[in-house]
Structure 1
Amino acid sequence: MPATATAGAPRGRRASAGRPKTGKPNPIDVHVGSRVRLRRTLLGMSQEKLGEAIGLTFQQVQKYERGANRIGASRLFDLSRVLDVPVSFFFDDMPADAASAPVDDEDGGEGAEERSAGAYEPDPMAKRETLELVRAYYRINDPSVRKRLFELTKAVANAATAESAE
């Protein structure tokens, strides 16, 4: 076959397998990645330290946590060991729309997965901001100060909700 006939043509099975070319990560990969980030953050572990423990760079860990790269079974097992959780932890609390998304779309169709990926919102409890807020809150040693901060936060949230309802 002449070289010009294969130039730019997809090679091997990988070209047609996997995610459709929507530019959006699979919602299951996003959920699993957010659970990795949740556990890593709760342990106070950096992406670099986690990467070292499983033989990756922190950039690769970042891609896993964003759902940009799919985590294979052996890597998921390594993560469960290092983060000291069962493999099932990464799938806990998965939203129904993520769970119903196709795992692999080998025929190249983009229907259900594209709709799910576009509608998928990561759990706010898994966001870094939330985790840092909770960790900082529990570093407040005085229970009365912690309770006043809690009441203040609820009052501000209620006021914001009332404003947006008007």
Structure 2
Amino acid sequence: MARAAAPDHIDVYVGARIGLRRSALGLSQAALAQRIGVSFQQVQKYETGQNRISASRLHRTAVILGTSVEAFFPPVEGLAAGEAESLRALGATADGRAVALAFPRIPDRTVRQAVARIVTALAPAP
């Protein structure tokens, strides 16, 4: 039996961003699924990067979530595979989503840098 290939890191990133935006708006996977015309299981697969989301469905999702399609993608200079997995892991827990959603709202750059240093110091080495 052939082994399934790992999801592409961009698919993981896009899915994680969809999940973060959906959560930030207080929408369940089932509610988003109903609005884009798929099952909630399909939304789960999109959010983990297990399944790729088509361009038309991604556009519809962006409209429903009140954002641009571009908001779901990493910067053009790219994203390493490990970074995409870290983003997915961050969005997988309520605590991670809370941090991810609140962090950009910290107005003071020095405070953001201090928070980043604290988190880095507390995290075990990979």
- TM-score, with length taken from structure 1: 0.52
Number of aligned residue pairs: give it.
106
The answer to whether the Cα contact below 8 Å between 2:90 and 2:100 also exists between their aligned partners in 1 is: no
Structure 2 partner of 1:40: 22
Q: Residues 78 and 90 of structure 1: is their aligned pair in 2 closer, same or farther, counting only changes over 3 Å?
A: same
Structure 2 partner of 1:24: 6
> How far did 1:79 drift?
0.3
Q: Residues 89 and 161 of structure 1: is their aligned pair in 2 closer, same or farther, counting only changes over 3 Å?
A: closer
In structure 2, C-alpha distance between the alignment counterparts of 1:127 and 1:43, rounded to whole Å: 16
What value does the CA root-mean-square deviation take over the aligned residues? 3.3
Listed as ranges, the matches of 1:117-156 within 5 Å are 120-123=84-87, 126-128=91-93, 129-132=95-98
Structure 1 partner of 2:109: none
> How far did 1:91 drift?
0.6
The answer to whether the Cα contact below 8 Å between 1:33 and 1:67 also exists between their aligned partners in 2 is: yes
The percentage of counterpart residues that share the same residue type is: 39
In structure 1, C-alpha distance between the alignment counterparts of 2:100 and 2:11, rounded to whole Å: 25
Match of 1:77 among 59, 64, 77: 59
The answer to whether the Cα contact below 8 Å between 2:13 and 2:84 also exists between their aligned partners in 1 is: no
Q: Residues 119 and 133 of structure 1: is their aligned pair in 2 closer, same or farther, counting only changes over 3 Å?
A: closer
> How far did 1:130 drift?
1.5
Structure 2 partner of 1:49: 31
The answer to whether the Cα contact below 8 Å between 1:39 and 1:83 also exists between their aligned partners in 2 is: yes
> How far did 1:56 drift?
1.0
The answer to whether the Cα contact below 8 Å between 1:64 and 1:71 also exists between their aligned partners in 2 is: yes
Structure 1 partner of 2:111: none
Q: Aligned AA for 2:6?
A: K
> How far did 1:39 drift?
0.2
SS in 1 for 2:85: coil
Structure 2 partner of 1:145: none
Match of 1:63 among 45, 51, 68: 45
Which contiguous aligned blocks of 4+ residues in structure 1 show a shift greater than 6 angstroms?
none
**Which blocks of at least 5 consecutive residues in structure 2 are unaligned?**
102-114
Q: Deviations over 1:141-163 (max 9, x none)?
A: xxxxxxxxxxxxx7xx58x948x
- TM-score, with length taken from structure 2: 0.67
